[in-house]
């Protein structure tokens, strides 16, 4: 399987390379944790792969030249058909709480880690999602379908464009190989990129299965690589829990502010780095509905939009429980979790102030934010369009462009008065600038993804590529793509996204 030709993913080669195909070094920090953490295995090849989409921005960050990203070697390696020289493929084991219930052992059922590449931003792990069965596949086939792979690829890069912490995506490759879900679909592989794919569930795994040595090794690995300041604390593991709580609080605030619903916030889908991870039935809100449930399989609405911050805390509590063997007392863990309760509201308030164009905090801001949410909910206003239109709100004018989004004009007028008063001493240039950087014009709405998916199933990948380029800079105007900033069509509300991927 190993390629005989020199490639940029080859650290052993002596062949001289053009600057854009310089060789890169693989490292294997996760593998160094030892065999209790994973199973080494080879990806399973897919027949006749083809490119579906590539993020040149991600490629550049990894130091992968454009020419290499178009090569047959790259296509084969990133589909799992050819071993990247120097890589060391493995699937990791983890456990987790799914929909509030302990689910026992899970693991990378269809994700294969190749190792990590050094980049100016630090080491980045490279993972192939959908590259075949692993010992943790349970009843699954180890594959991912084109539909869900496009959603994950686009949303990873869209989140990055929005400035929201997320795992990234380098590319998608597709194959005509059939994959059975509710219907027959085709296979795809997404190459995911992140400093680490370690989840809360990794800690739960070694804690519940009573492997204290491994639990400590995992915590030390995470502290030394990603939270070095915790090492200086009197209780490094409590400090770790607190640091993760704070990153998670910031992530939840970012999701709420942009109107993102994750859909499956199980502890195995929670990143120890506070990244958005495992894109499944996610959705950006169209009309603002606080109780919106995007996952069709979530009958009880456990992961409804307005429950996400509480679910984030619930998951951190599970992480705290898993870390207890490394702490002196339960009180220590509880104290470490406390910060979530102050960091989350403060982070959300800061984000909402920025969306409203208020550079400085004032006591009445909380009430204004609450009234805004209430007004949007009562009128089921399109969340993204409201905020973008609000960027051109001027207290003096009639602000029709915003008012027209509301059927209850009286309530809007009352709100507009409150907002106008708050803006009295705010510089309008400063405000507009702040708002245009915090209210995206473009988000990956379900129907936009769906249109790109339908075309891609017919081998037209232009929709995927257009969306990618627009969503990577979602605060820009992109005049030529006005349509992508419009209201969702009627059929958008009938799209049903479930866990099936």
Which residue number, 74 or 497, has a Cβ lying nearer to Mg ion? 497
Q: Does 269 engage in binding with Mg ion (CB under 5 A)?
A: yes
For every residue of 212-271, DSSP letters joined together read HHHHHHHHHHHHHHH-GGGGGSSSHHHHHHHHHHHHHHHHHHHHHHHTEE-S---GGG-B
For every residue of 178-224, DSSP letters joined together read EEESSSEEEEEEEEEEES---BHHHHHHHHHTT-HHHHHHHHHHHHH
Q: Does 382 engage in binding with Mg ion (CB under 5 A)?
A: no
**Count of positions (residues) in the chain:** 501
- Report the residue closest to Mg ion, judged by CB: 278
Interface residue with ligand AMP among 106, 198, 218, 467 (CB under 6 A) is 106
Q: Does 100 engage in binding with ligand AMP (CB under 6 A)?
A: no
Q: Does 278 engage in binding with ligand AMP (CB under 6 A)?
A: yes
Q: Does 278 engage in binding with Mg ion (CB under 5 A)?
A: yes
Instruction: Give the residue among 267, 165, 277, 272 at the shortest CA–CA distance from 226.
Output: 272
Q: Does 298 engage in binding with ligand AMP (CB under 6 A)?
A: no
Interface residue with ligand AMP among 39, 71, 137, 469 (CB under 6 A) is 137
Q: Does 143 engage in binding with ligand AMP (CB under 6 A)?
A: yes
**Interface segment toward Mg ion; rule CB under 5 A; list 79-87, 139-147, 270-278, 289-297:** 270-278
Which residue(s) pair with 168 in the sheet?
193
Instruction: Give the residue among 254, 252, 276 at the shortest CA–CA distance from 340.
Output: 252
From 10, 73, 108, 268, the catalytic residue: 268
Residues between 149 and 188 that touch ligand AMP (CB under 6 A)? none
Output helix, strand, coil percentages for the chain, rounded to the nearest 5: 45, 15, 40
Q: Take residue 33 and report the two structure tokens written for it.
A: 């944790």
Q: Take residue 139 and report the two structure tokens written for it.
A: 């009843």
**Interface segment toward Mg ion; rule CB under 5 A; list 63-71, 250-258, 272-280, 342-350:** 272-280
Which residue number, 160 or 202, has a Cβ lying nearer to Mg ion? 202
- Beta strand segments in 99-161, E: 101-105, 111-117, 124-129, 144-145
The site for ligand AMP, by CB under 6 A, has a size of 16
Q: Based on the residue annotation, tell me whether 268 is a catalytic residue of this protein.
A: yes
The site for Mg ion, by CB under 5 A, has a size of 2
| Chosen from ligand AMP, Mg ion, none, partner binding at 455 (C-beta under 5 to 8 Å by type) | none
Instruction: List, by residue number, the catalytic residues.
Output: 268
Residues within the interface to Mg ion (CB under 5 A): 269, 278
């Amino acid at each position: 399987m190993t390629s005989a030709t020199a490639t940029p993913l080859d650290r052993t080669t002596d062949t001289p390379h053009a600057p854009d195909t310089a060789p890169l070094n693989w490292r294997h920090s996760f593998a160094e944790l030892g065999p209790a953490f994973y199973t080494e295995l080879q990806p399973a090849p897919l027949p006749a792969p083809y490119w579906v989409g590539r993020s040149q921005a991600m490629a550049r960050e990894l130091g992968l030249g454009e020419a290499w990203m178009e090569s047959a070697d790259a296509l084969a390696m990133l589909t799992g058909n050819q071993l990247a020289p120097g890589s060391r493929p493995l699937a990791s084991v983890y456990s987790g709480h799914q929909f509030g219930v302990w689910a026992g052992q899970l693991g990378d059922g269809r994700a294969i880690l190749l190792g990590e590449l050094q980049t100016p931003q630090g080491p980045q792990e490279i993972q192939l999602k959908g590259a075949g069965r692993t010992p943790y596949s349970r009843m699954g086939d180890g594959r991912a379908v084109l539909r869900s792979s496009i959603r994950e690829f686009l949303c990873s890069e869209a989140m990055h464009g929005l400035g929201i912490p997320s795992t990234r995506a380098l590319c998608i490759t597709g194959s005509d190989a059939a994959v059975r879900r509710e219907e027959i679909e085709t296979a795809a592989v997404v190459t995911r990129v992140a400093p680490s794919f370690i989840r809360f569930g990794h800690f739960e795994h070694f804690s519940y299965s009573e492997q204290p040595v491994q639990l400590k090794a995992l915590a030390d690995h995470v502290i030394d690589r990603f939270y070095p300041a915790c090492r200086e604390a009197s209780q490094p593991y409590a400090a770790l829990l607190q640091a993760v709580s704070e990153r998670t609080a910031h992530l939840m605030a970012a999701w709420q502010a942009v109107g993102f619903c994750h859909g499956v916030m199980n502890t195995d889908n929670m990143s120890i780095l506070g990244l958005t991870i495992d894109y499944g039935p996610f959705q950006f809100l169209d009309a603002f509905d606080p109780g919106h449930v995007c996952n069709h399989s979530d009958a009880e609405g456990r992961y409804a939009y307005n429950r996400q911050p509480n679910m984030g805390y619930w998951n951190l509590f599970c992480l705290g429980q898993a870390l207890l063997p490394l702490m002196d007392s339960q009180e220590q863990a509880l104290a470490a979790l406390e910060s979530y309760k102050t960091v989350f509201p403060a982070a959300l308030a800061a984000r909402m102030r920025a969306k409203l164009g208020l550079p400085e905090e004032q006591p009445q801001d909380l009430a204004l934010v609450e009234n805004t949410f209430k007004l949007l909910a009562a009128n089921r206003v399109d969340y993204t369009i409201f905020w973008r239109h609000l960027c051109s709100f001027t207290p003096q004018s009639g602000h029709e462009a915003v008012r027209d989004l509301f059927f209850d004009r009286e309530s809007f007028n009352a709100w507009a008065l409150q907002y106008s008063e708050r803006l009295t001493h705010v510089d309008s240039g400063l405000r507009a600038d702040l708002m245009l950087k915090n209210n995206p014009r473009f988000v990956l709405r379900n129907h936009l993804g769906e249109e790109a998916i339908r075309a891609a199933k017919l081998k037209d990948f232009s929709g995927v590529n257009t969306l990618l380029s627009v969503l990577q800079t979602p605060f820009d105007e992109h005049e030529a793509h006005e349509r992508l900033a419009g209201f969702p069509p009627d059929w958008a509300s009938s799209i049903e996204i479930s866990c099936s991927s």
